[in-house]
Amino acid sequence: MGTIQRNLSYDELFELEVKNNEGAVSENGTMMVDTGKFTGRSPKDKYFVHQKPSFENIAWGKINQAMAPEVFDELYDEVIEYLSGKDLYVTDGFCGANEKTRVA
């Protein structure tokens, strides 16, 4: 069973990356990682569960694709099983500097 590390500092993450061989330290001391063949956005891989009330508010098309609830449930179970054996690193992030208007 894996562990969940939450909101680690940069230094803590850096230390774990080195310890777990998840990257390499460059000559100037920064961390380098290889993202593999998936290096960019995947706009055509965006799916939403086709159910009320959200289905009336989504611009369906080649980008926003529908997924049946049963398909979502099956994928969800697979992901939970896969991730349950992994060490996870979670960061609670937000967009925006103003605490009153930022989005989590």
How many distinct structural domains can be found in the chain? 1
Domain membership of residue 80 (yes or no) is yes
pLDDT, tens only, 57-72: 999 999 999 999 999 9
Domain membership of residue 95 (yes or no) is no
Could you give the CA distance from residue 83 to residue 90 in angstroms, rounded to a whole number?
13
pTM to 2 decimals? 0.69
User: What is the torsional sign of CA 102, 15, 41, 74?
Assistant: negative
Q: In angstroms, how far apart are the furthest CA atoms of the chain? A: 53
Q: What is the DSSP string of 60-89?
A: -SSSEEEE-HHHHHHHHHHHHHHHTTS-EE
Cis peptide before 53 (omega within 30 of 0): yes
pLDDT, tens only, 20-49: 999 999 999 999 998 888 777 888 889 999
Range of the domain at 29: 4-35+42-90
**CATH (domain of 16):** 3.40.449.10
Amino acid at 18: V
Which pLDDT belongs to residue 41? 80
CA–CA distances in Å: residue 56 to residues 47, 49, 61: 15, 12, 13
